[in-house]
Amino acid sequence: MNKNESISGLILAGGRGSRMGHVDKGLQPFQGSTMAAHVLARLAPQVASVAINANQNLGTYAAFGVTVWQDDLEGFAGPLAGLETGLRRCATPYLLTAPCDSPFLPPDLGERLFAALEAQDADLAFAATQEPGMRVQAHPVFCLVKTALLPVLSAYLAEGGRRMDGWYKDLKAVEVLFEDVDAFRNINTLDELHSLDPTRPPRLADVTSCLSAYDPEALPVRDAQRIIREFVQPVGAVEQVALRAALGRVLAHDIVSPINVPAHDNSAMDGYALRGDDLVLDGDTYLKVVGTVYAGRPSDAAPGPGECVRIMTGGVMPEGCDSVVPQEFVAQESAAGIVLRAGTLRAGDNRRFAGEDLKAGSPALRAGKIIRPADLGLVASLGIAEVPVVRRLRVAFFSTGDELRSIGQALDAGSVYDSNRYTIYGMLQRLGCEIVDMGIVRDDPAALEAALRSACENADAIITSGGVSVGAADYTRQIMARLGDVTFWKIGMRPGRPLAFGRIASNGRSAFLFGLPGNPVAVMVSFYFFAREALLRMMGADAPLPLLRARSEGAIRKKPGRTEYQRGILSHGDDGMPQVRITGAQGSGILRSMSEANCMVVLHDEQGNVGAGDSVDVLMFEGLV
């Protein structure tokens, strides 16, 4: 491998990572560092110097010790924008590019492209590979370009050209075949990334470094939700349970139908099964009745032309019949025959097809579904007695605060009864968690540490309330931080704001931690909007909060720039449409208005004042898991 002093390297990291959920691809953690750092390590020895083209997280890239160049061209984050920027700033006669998501790029990339370019007196050289029996695949993002070609590229871009392999169509370009196909593998999805680097559980910093602007002191709700979503991991373990016991649990694998449901074509009505061809379109139809088919009783009735069979709902359609006339539509009826008026029936009416509900071999239920009563019935209709569900999530929780008293204790001056213990219990119970109720823990470092350690050793997740706000005794935060990877946020929301989140470890066991604020309403809001989805994800379920739209009865004052949750009462207006009004005092400690409410009005970050009659998002309490 030779260093070529006439070549500058350029790592293309300007994309928006749209296939990775809009994370910054180059900064994705990969095998001990980040993807872009791997590319840098492989490119640097080949060239005089390396620069990175990026449009976000510029400081993080600069910390690699390289020059960072932003696109000059606005509104287009494709690789050509980066290339143009690079050519414009490049101080050597050649520029070599590589994408930030190619951590395995060949160590002789520059050397071989340069040799081919010189040998053929070309303007540009790019890499290609060929798998056995396949066509040659070009990799135009791995290319060596003469810096002097800047005007050609600029002209192409000015005309609206955007394709990496389109701009050099009138130039002399050489394709250089490389043997190692994997060296050009780029990583496009987070799943791909994790499958290549399964060794390490993610750290919070890995996740937060991908946000384009991360400020723990002023974190928007949706960023907090995203960090939590990406950080928590499903427990994975599966258990087989009897069908009834699966109610409310999360299905661990798809359930594939072993049979057609229904198994046979059958009648949807009580009436007469007939041949559609026999229907007279412009006059009465006379049909002779030749037998009766009951549901569940096989029959060998096989009516010929001009004949029909009396049939009950669910009865198997006799051979040759394709329609059923409901008995109330029959004009005349006797043991011998029936008369139908013209237009009573169309051929094919009231026949249910075999497999109409479910076809054999097709998935009846998908993994990740929370099993509801209809699902129990569906599984039963397939004759399946047991189903695989994700094991119950164990969640330990406790309340913190010296002022807290348990029910049954005397309420001395300045103390309050611990209500969070009960709301949290209720919310966890609804989620179907296995609950470890640890009661009240005093504001005392040793007691807190012991409680957190015990929770960690006995549960998958820990929920605490109180002690995470700024005014609270600091050691709660200190101890949480000492036991693991925990971050403390001030979230742009009301009520709520302080939240501790992360993972702590003790004696080789670890658990995800949600340190909720202490105020009784804040605790519920934080649970519903942060902990709930995370716990469901750990259980393998994907169940976003079911928000619906309703008309606001009155005006609501709202500051843009933070999310507000107001307690509301949803009802129906005179026009039958859902409408909502705010209820009671909205202070974050006032649980009574939470209890009076039947929903929460969600006013998102960007939303300003709400006018009477405007639509708002609403989260219903009933039906919420």
Contact footprint for ligand AMP (CB under 6 A)? 399, 401, 403-404, 416, 418-421, 465-467, 469, 471-472, 517-520
Residue with tokens 């109330």, as numbered in its chain: 328
Shortest distance (Å) from residue 484 CB to Mg ion = 21
Joined together, the tokens standing for residue 574 give 């005179």
Segment interacting with Mg ion, rule: CB under 5 A, options 94-102, 107-115, 156-164, 461-469: 461-469
Phi, psi of 574 (to 5 degrees): -60, -30
Region near Mg ion per CB under 5 A, out of 37-45, 53-61, 363-371, 466-474: 466-474
Going by the DSSP 8-state scheme, the letter that residue 371 receives in this structure is P
Cα 38 from chain centroid (whole Å): 28
C-alpha–C-alpha distance, residues 537 and 532, integer Å: 9
Q: How far is the CB of 456 from ligand AMP (least distance, A)?
A: 20
**Least distance from C-beta 441 to Mg ion, angstroms?**
10
Q: Decide: 96 and 143 in contact? Cβ < 8 Å.
A: yes
Minimum distance from residue 586 beta carbon to ligand AMP (Å):
16
Does 401 participate in binding Mg ion (rule CB under 5 A)?
Answer: yes
Of 5 and 596, nearer to ligand AMP (C-beta) is 596
Which residue has 């994907």 as its token pair? 542
Question: For Mg ion, which stretch binds (CB under 5 A), given 51-59, 472-480, 534-542, 586-594?
Answer: 472-480
In angstroms, the first-to-last Cα distance of the chain is: 60
Contact predicate 305/279, CB 8 Å: no
Q: Which does 151 bind (CB under 5 to 8 A by kind): ligand AMP, Mg ion, none?
A: none
Distance in Å, CB of 228 to ligand AMP, minimum? 19
Q: Could you tell which of Mg ion, ligand AMP, none binds residue 469, using a CB distance below 5 to 8 A set by kind?
A: ligand AMP
Q: Which stretch binds Mg ion (CB under 5 A): 345-353, 393-401, 421-429, 561-569?
A: 393-401
Exposure of 618 in the CB half-sphere (CA atoms within 13 A): 25
Give the interface size with Mg ion as a residue count (CB under 5 A): 5
**Which of ligand AMP, Mg ion, none does residue 319 bind to, with CB < 5 to 8 Å depending on kind?**
none
Q: Which residue is nearest to ligand AMP (CB)?
A: 518
Q: Cβ(96)–Cβ(111) under 8 Å?
A: no
Six-digit token string for 305: 């032309």
Q: Residue 399: which of ligand AMP, Mg ion, none does it interact with, CB under 5 to 8 A by kind? A: ligand AMP
Please classify residue 84 by burial: count the beta carbons closer than 10 Å to its beta carbon, then call 0-12 exposed, 13-18 middle and 19+ buried.
Answer: buried
What is the four-CA torsion angle of 353, 354, 360, 363, rounded to 10 degrees?
A: 40
579 conformational bin, left if phi > 0, alpha if psi -120 to 50, beta if neither = beta
Q: Which does 465 bind (CB under 5 to 8 A by kind): ligand AMP, Mg ion, none?
A: ligand AMP
Of 466, 496, 517, 520, the residue at the interface with Mg ion (CB under 5 A) is 466
Distance of closest approach, residue 16 Cβ to ligand AMP, in angstroms: 38
Measured CA to CA, the distance from residue 607 to residue 564 in angstroms comes to: 9
- We find the least distance from the C-beta atom of residue 603 to ligand AMP, in angstroms, to be 23
Give residues in contact with Mg ion (CB under 5 A). Answer: 401, 466-467, 472, 518
